[in-house]
């Protein structure tokens, strides 16, 4: 690994941590000796990197610090291209458009050599089976999750009965051929998961739900662990 690649890797590792992290942890994560780590930090600081700290205390980088033009290892670039192409091919219209736009933005800031590799990537996405059609707007579901807003939905169970629910959506799970909306259901007073192709209607309410989505997700994971169930969500438990 060249020195410039090593310094860039150190910057990327520092971005993962929000609290000060010791030099020994950073040396382990970057695969260098502690003496090399200290020299690299000093070099980055001299070049203007917003890294605060000292030996024995730990280091942290201000999160508004802008990294230099993006660098990727070949495997990282392959993963990026394939992931974006999968979303562009198999995601709903909003995510597909977002994936293409994101890939264009990343391409624009890559060094010329990496941009050529990205454009010439031989990892392609084949045509898959048709994903179920939706009466509900998937963009609206994502917006409800992002803004932590309640939803009123009309839902069909596999056996046919239709019910109206007010739910607190906190995650959307993308399976190969279906999507599952994870919620707290006010009607049942517990966590419920709903297949999006069985949601006949949805209304985004003005009211925010009382917990944030990260808390709901952690509580759901805890409940699944205690119950001994799979961590993958099941839909249509009534």
Give yes or no for a contact between 181 and 196, defined as CB atoms under 8 angstroms apart: yes
At 3 the pLDDT is 79
Give yes or no for a contact between 51 and 44, defined as CB atoms under 8 angstroms apart: yes
Please name which of 160, 134, 155 lies closest in space to residue 169, comparing C-alpha atoms.
155
pLDDT string in tens for the chain (238-residue length): 677 778 888 888 888 888 899 999 999 999 999 999 999 999 888 878 889 988 888 999 886 665 555 667 788 888 999 999 988 887 788 888 999 988 888 887 777 878 888 888 888 887 766 566 677 889 999 999 999 999 999 999 888 789 999 999 999 998 878 889 999 999 999 999 999 999 999 999 999 999 999 999 999 988 887 666 655 666 655 5
At 124 the pLDDT is 81
At 62 the pLDDT is 81
Residues 232, 109: Cα–Cα separation, whole Å: 37
Q: What is the number of H-type helices and E-type strands within the chain? A: 8, 7
Q: Where in the chain is the domain with CATH 2.30.30.520?
A: 138-227
At 224 the pLDDT is 81
At 155 the pLDDT is 95
Q: Where in the chain is the domain with CATH 1.10.10.10?
A: 3-61
Residues 119, 107: Cα–Cα separation, whole Å: 8
pTM of the model: 0.65
Distances (CA, A) of 77 to 107, 118, 123: 11, 7, 11
Instruction: Note the CATH architecture for domain 3-61.
Output: Orthogonal Bundle (1.10)
pLDDT digits (tens, 9 = 90+) for 63-100: 666 555 566 778 888 899 999 998 888 778 888 899 99
Residues 185, 150: Cα–Cα separation, whole Å: 10
**Token reading at 158:** 């596999």
The set of residues, in sequence order, having a beta carbon less than 8 Å from that of 75 and lying 6+ positions away, is none
**Token reading at 190:** 């517990």
* DSSP strands (E only) in 190-235: 190-195, 199-208
Query: Which residues on neighbouring strands pair with residue 182, listed in sequence order?
Result: 171, 193
Instruction: Note the CATH architecture for domain 138-227.
Output: Roll (2.30)
User: Which residue in the block uniquely carries the two structure tokens 């392609």?
Assistant: 124
């Amino acid at each position: 690994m060249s020195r410039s690649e090593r310094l860039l890797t150190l910057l990327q590792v520092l971005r993962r941590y929000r609290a000060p992290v010791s030099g020994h942890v950073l040396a382990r994560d970057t695969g260098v000796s502690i003496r090399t780590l200290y020299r690299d930090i000093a070099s980055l600081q001299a070049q203007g990197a917003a890294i605060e700290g000292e030996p024995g205390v730990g280091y942290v980088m201000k999160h508004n610090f802008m990294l230099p033009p993006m660098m990727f290892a070949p495997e990282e670039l392959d993963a990026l291209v394939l992931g974006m192409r999968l979303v562009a091919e198999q995601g709903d219209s909003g995510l597909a458009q977002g994936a293409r736009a994101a890939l264009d933005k990343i391409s624009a800031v890559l060094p010329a050599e990496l941009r050529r590799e990205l454009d010439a990537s031989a990892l392609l996405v084949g045509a898959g089976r048709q994903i179920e059609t939706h009466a509900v707007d998937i963009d609206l579901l994502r917006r409800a999750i992002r803004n932590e807003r309640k939803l009123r939905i009309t839902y069909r169970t596999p056996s046919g009965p239709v019910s109206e629910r007010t739910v607190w959506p906190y995650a959307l799970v993308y399976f190969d051929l279906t999507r599952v909306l994870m919620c707290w259901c006010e009607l049942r007073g517990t966590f419920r998961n709903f297949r999006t192709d069985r949601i006949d209607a949805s209304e985004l309410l003005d009211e925010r739900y009382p917990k944030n989505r990260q808390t709901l997700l952690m509580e759901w994971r805890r409940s699944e662990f205690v119950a001994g169930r799979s961590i993958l969500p099941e839909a249509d438990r009534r």
